[in-house]
């Protein structure tokens, strides 16, 4: 199964509202990243948060990390229709062999105008 699992699978909100997406993972990590994907296109990096960090901000994005609960959240404030996309968390597990990130299946966010 995937290391990172996003919740909810789908989220529909109105423009101007805040959107919160969650990511849970199973094993200890070195860092966690969030990516955005517009339909069928390449992923775009949003934020990287390291295991010793609890919160990071970037513009309208706020990411938190709770290593005791093995979870992270991505908050998008004052959402816009252009924020409509899929959002993925990607974890860097401490115990994996090889060099890879493990991606979840994503949250599909729809922001209605």
Give contact residues for another protein (rule: CB under 8 A): 2, 30-31, 33, 35, 40-45, 48, 88, 90, 92, 98-101, 103-106
- Provide the 10 A C-beta neighbour count for residue 31: 15
Of the pair 66, 105, the CB lying nearest another protein is at 105
- Residue 35: CB minimum distance to another protein, A: 8
Q: How far is CA 84 from the centre of its chain?
A: 14
Of the pair 9, 112, the CB lying nearest another protein is at 9
Q: Which residues contact 40 (CB under 8 A, 6 or more apart)?
A: none
């Amino acid at each position: 199964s995937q290391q990172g699992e996003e919740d909810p699978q789908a989220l529909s909100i109105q423009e101007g509202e805040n959107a919160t997406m969650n990511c849970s993972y199973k094993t200890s990590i070195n860092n966690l990243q969030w990516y955005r994907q517009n339909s069928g296109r390449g992923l775009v990096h949003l934020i990287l948060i390291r295991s010793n960090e609890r919160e990071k901000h970037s513009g309208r994005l706020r990411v938190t990390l709770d290593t005791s609960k093995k979870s992270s959240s991505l908050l998008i404030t004052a959402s816009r229709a252009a924020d409509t996309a899929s959002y993925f968390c990607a974890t860097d597990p401490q115990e994996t062999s090889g060099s890879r990130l493990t991606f979840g299946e994503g949250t599909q966010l729809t922001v209605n105008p």
